[in-house]
């Protein structure tokens, strides 16, 4: 019986350690997601007017309207609700790039910035892209911020959230299993100690 309990405790310790290892992997996932978010946030551009943005990688890009933003180290609040925005993009080769309405509706909020996707376009090559934007309707006379960057802000946030939740679940599970193994071990030692010893 004592050998069986010792065997079961070893399995509990192993399971607890494995759960903590998985929790460590979830921490790495959350950190990687956070780093991706920090390095791939859309670049904020003060509008109306024409601004250039450097895109490091080709692929799908979003143009987001940021109600709260930071441009040049200064906090900027754009009109809310946002006015009607018209946007055009010119590629590094000087050719116009097709701009379409955002195919998915999503928003993001990170630190001092909050935005929602309005448009999207596909960058076929890295380089400097020129964004021109105008506004009409209520609030059109005020400055506003459009941010340009790669799609995937939503999926990155899910990675961060999933990593944090996974860390909590697996870490608590691992600690609970290790505590259970310790309690069983102490009870086993107490039971095997002769009376009066």
- Does the reported pTM lie above 0.75? no
Output the average pLDDT for the chain.
Answer: 79
Q: Tokens for 58?
A: 């080709």
Domain boundaries, the chain: 2-35+159-192, 42-151
Q: What is the pLDDT of residue 52?
A: 93
121 burial level (CB within 10 Å; 0-12, 13-18, 19+): buried
pLDDT band, very low/low/confident/very high, at 191 (cuts 50, 70, 90): low
CA distance 115 to 43: 12
31-62 pLDDT, tens digit per residue, is 665 555 555 678 899 999 999 999 888 889 98
In SS3 terms, 137-184 reads as CCCCCCCEEEEEEECCHHHHHHHHHHHHHHHHHHHHHHHHHHHHHHHH
166-179 pLDDT, tens digit per residue, is 677 777 877 877 78
pLDDT band, very low/low/confident/very high, at 131 (cuts 50, 70, 90): very high
Tell the CATH topology of 42-151: Jelly Rolls (2.60.120)
C-beta of residue 112 within 8 angstroms of C-beta of residue 70: yes
Which has the minimum average pLDDT: 3-12, 139-148, 153-162?
A: 153-162
């Amino acid at each position: 019986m004592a050998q069986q309990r010792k065997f079961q405790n070893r399995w509990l310790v192993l399971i607890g350690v494995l759960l903590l290892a998985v929790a460590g992997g979830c921490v790495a996932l959350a950190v990687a997601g956070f780093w991706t978010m920090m390095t791939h946030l859309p670049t904020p551009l003060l509008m109306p007017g024409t601004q250039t943005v450097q895109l490091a990688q080709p692929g799908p890009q979003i143009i987001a309207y940021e109600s709260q933003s930071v441009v040049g180290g200064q906090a900027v609040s754009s009109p809310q609700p946002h006015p009607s925005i018209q946007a055009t993009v010119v590629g590094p080769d000087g050719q116009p790039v097709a701009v379409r309405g955002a195919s998915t509706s999503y928003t993001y909020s990170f630190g001092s910035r909050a935005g929602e996707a309005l448009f999207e376009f596909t960058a076929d090559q890295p380089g400097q892209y020129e964004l021109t934007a105008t506004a009409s309707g209520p609030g059109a006379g005020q400055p506003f911020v459009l941010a340009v960057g790669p799609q995937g802000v939503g999926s990155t946030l899910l990675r961060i959230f999933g990593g944090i939740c996974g860390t909590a679940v697996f870490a608590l599970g691992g600690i609970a299993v290790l505590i259970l193994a310790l309690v069983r071990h102490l009870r086993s030692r107490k039971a095997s100690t002769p009376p009066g010893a």
